[in-house]
Structure 1
């Protein structure tokens, strides 16, 4: 089965599609650094670079594919942004719809942030997507899925709009159950890479880590705000919290190197306990050197990219590519469910023709 990928970024969703058994024949992306990354890792795919609305004629040459996939920019819908439906980037979900209306694949999968699928303020957007797709002949279901339920070592909730042609089986939530698998811990996922700066785990993220003078405390030492900036510490013995696209500076998550590699007790947990008990007062100062930021390679692993995957561009833009990606294993599970549905529909149609 053949697929066209839109808003492809570094290619996380495409990796999932290939693992699920689809051939990605064409991809579309506007960011130059992401395009460089995509070309390096997917040399057999036709890459259409630039504004999707201005390159529509080239995309139309792939009419007749089985599947259209993509994750339009989500800044207008994200709780990490201004959540503005009038943000020009919010309109790109309808550019996705336009491609589907023209290519008329057997199915489509559009991914975005959870807020688009859940919040009342975006209900009109959801309704318009479903209305347009219904008029184009698709039955559309909306699913909010968490990457950690599909083997990704990261808690990352996303919405998937999945449409199938009217003659196909509608994909329901329980269709994903067979593809679920328990997430491994962060320690299990990245410890084999070695310490930050080592041969398989470089380069180092150099953004300083400083303690907050007035920390925001929560029950868990891995929640709240113990440090300045928005980078939160990660617990090696649990899955990661959601990786943001704004990584690279002081929003990059924090790891206790000695807790992860040296067999030491967690400095973060002990510091949190002392503040809560009143044993110490938090003050603004640089954190111990054993605390450091997540590396590019670790972030890629936590998004379930293959370890052989190569990223192009400055460090900040690579972090952005990784943070914006659909976790490969999550995409793989979703697209396996879609492929299973399409295969069953084709089988049913053959049986019906033979019986006629």
Structure 2
């Protein structure tokens, strides 16, 4: 099954599909930082590599640039792409932020639709935040062009457009924890088929969750916990060494040694990798910050966001901050590292710990700087942001396996014909 990944980020969706046995053809990502992580690991990676077209530069570009500059070449791919996936930027839909129908990032989903009409893939998967299916508030409309979002959610609008384009559309909300991700991360999926099938593909996916977990060596009856995911990264009794995997100086990381006995989840993420993962840099908190984190732990119920009463008492302006519960899945990993505090240490998580909770394997290397601030925040996509924005690879792998099993039944896979055109 050959796929194109649009709004690819650092490659969570692509990685899961590659793990499932699919073949990447092209990946479109606007941000250079995120694209470099994707290119380094998957496009030109040691474990995986894309069948990249000769006419397409291996560089960051927007979906709009892709269509405008390469429309003729893209048209020749029609009939050779089995699957098109993508998670259009979600900030305009997220209930965690300011839901803004005028947010230009919302319009990127329409560019995705245009690309669908050119490529005509057999299957389509769109992933977004659960708020993707919520209607916008009429008071926030800024123009008559926004009126369609009053009557329908953006998910409904896109689904209607895909139905008009000849696809059978199935959709719904899913918790990534059902597929072994140690995180209660609710996402909205739209799964479509160009074939005239009776099955609801979204429901087909949900039915595979237990078998998928079992196939990965996980207990289908129990969620994976944060302790399962990051216990070996705790700093207690560990030697610390200077961190050298970014240009910033003065940071430390643990001298990582893989445990002799791996938990079932850790076995998945170690994935035969014998070395130390990158992105282990420990935060360099001030004493006042550490004291504040200790107060958060005393004032909160582990696993639940700090109450408004507790936030007010602590003089905290942040809307959400959670101390992890050791024996439960994490809440949703975001792009802000100070949203979550470690379950036994007075610190935020390392980038690698967030990657573990997102189900990225240890061999996957994140590139670029760790964080950013000020005006650069709107332009940069540092490691924490790349990880927080990603689709958990385990969820993507489950999607890929479900679609591959359908294709084996339908014998729908066809050889490539247009890559060198």
TM range (shorter): 0.7 to 0.9
Shift of 1:119: 4.6
- Deviation at 1:339? 2.3
| Structure 2 match to 1:53 | 64
Pick the aligned partner of 1:142 from 146, 149, 171.
171
Say whether the 8 Å CA contact 2:128–2:188 is kept in structure 1: yes
When residues 218 and 128 of structure 1 are mapped into structure 2, their CA distance, relative to the original with a 3 A threshold, is same
Distance 1:191 1:84 in 2: 39
Whole-Å Cα distance in 1 between the matches of residues 95 and 23 of structure 2? 34
- The separation in 1 between residues aligned to 2:77 and 2:183, in whole angstroms, is 35
* Cα pair distance change 1:221/1:337, threshold 3 Å: closer
Task: Decide which of 310, 318, 325 is 2:390's aligned counterpart.
Answer: 325
Name the SS of the counterpart of 1:62 in structure 2. coil
Offset at residue 118 of structure 1 (A) = 4.4
Structure (1/2) with the larger strand percentage:
1
Match of 1:334 in 2: 399
Which residue matches 2:282? 204
Q: What SS does structure 1 have at the residue aligned with 2:330?
A: coil
Larger deviation, residues 106-115 vs 159-168: 159-168
Counterpart among 55, 69, 87 of residue 71 in structure 1: 87
Q: Deviations over 1:284-305 (max 9, x none)?
A: xxxxxx4111011111010000
Deviations 1:295-329 (A, max 9, x none): 11111010000111101111011000000000110
User: Using a 3 Å threshold, how does the CA distance of structure 1 residues 4 and 218 change in structure 2: closer, same or farther?
Assistant: same
Relative to structure 1, the CA distance from residue 297 to residue 110 in structure 2 (aligned partners, 3 Å threshold; closer, same or farther) is same
What corresponds to 2:270 in structure 1? none
Change (3 A) 1:328 1:221: closer
More displaced stretch, 169-178 vs 21-30? 169-178
**For the residues of structure 2 that align with 1:98 and 1:145, how far apart are their CA atoms?**
26
RMSD: 2.7
Pick one of 50, 57, 62 that aligns with 2:77: 62
Q: CA deviation at 1:124?
A: 4.2
Counterpart of 2:369 (choices 291, 300, 314) is 314
Equivalent of 1:100 in 116, 131, 150: 116
Look up the SS of the partner of 1:53 in the other structure: helix
- CA–CA separation in structure 2 for the residues paired with 1:164 and 1:35: 28
Q: How far apart are the structure 2 equivalents of 1:93 and 1:221?
A: 33
| Number of the residue aligned with 1:344 | 409
Which position in structure 2 is the counterpart of 1:286? none
Shifted more, 322-331 versus 209-218: the winner is: 209-218
Contact (CA 8 Å) 1:215, 1:224: kept in 2 or not? no
Q: In structure 2, which of residues 132, 135, 157 is the aligned counterpart of residue 128 of structure 1? A: 157
Could you say which residue in structure 2 is the equivalent of 1:262?
Answer: none
For the residue of structure 2 that corresponds to 1:54, the secondary structure is: helix
Aligned equivalents of 1:314 and 1:215: distance in 2?
29
Q: Counterpart in 2 of 1:273? A: none
Aligned positions, number: 313
Cα gap change, 1:15/1:88 in structure 2, threshold over 3 Å: closer, same or farther? same
Equivalent residue number for residue 113 of structure 1: 129
Q: Does 1:178 align with 2:208?
A: yes
TM-score norm. by structure 2 comes to 0.68
Post-superposition Cα deviations, 1:19-66, rounded to whole Å, max 9, x if no partner, equal 122101110001111011011101122345212112214371533200
Q: Aligned ranges for residues 114-263 of structure 1 at < 5 Å?
A: 114-119=130-135, 123-170=152-199, 171-180=201-210, 181=213, 182=220, 183-195=223-235, 197-200=253-256, 202-207=280-285, 208-209=289-290, 210=292, 222-225=304-307, 228=316, 229=318, 230-247=320-337, 250-251=338-339, 253-257=340-344
Does 2:10 match 1:10? Answer: yes
Counterpart for residue 266 of structure 2: none
Q: How far does the alpha carbon of each residue in 1:149-195 deviate from its partner, in whole angstroms, 9 at most, with x for none?
A: 11000000000111101434541414432233343111111112342
Q: Where does structure 2 lack aligned partners over 5 or more consecutive residues?
A: 53-57, 138-148, 214-219, 237-252, 257-278, 372-381, 413-421
Distance 1:220 1:256, change over 3 A: closer
Going from structure 1 to structure 2, the CA distance change for 1:25 and 1:158 (only over 3 Å counts) comes to: same
Q: How many angstroms does 1:211 deviate by? A: 5.5
Q: Is the 8 A contact 1:168 1:342 kept in 2?
A: no
> Higher mean Cα deviation, 41-50 or 3-12?
41-50
**Aligned mates of 1:116, 1:149 — CA distance in 2:** 20
Offset, 1:231: 3.2
Structure-1-length-normalised TM-score: 0.80
SS at match of 1:144: strand
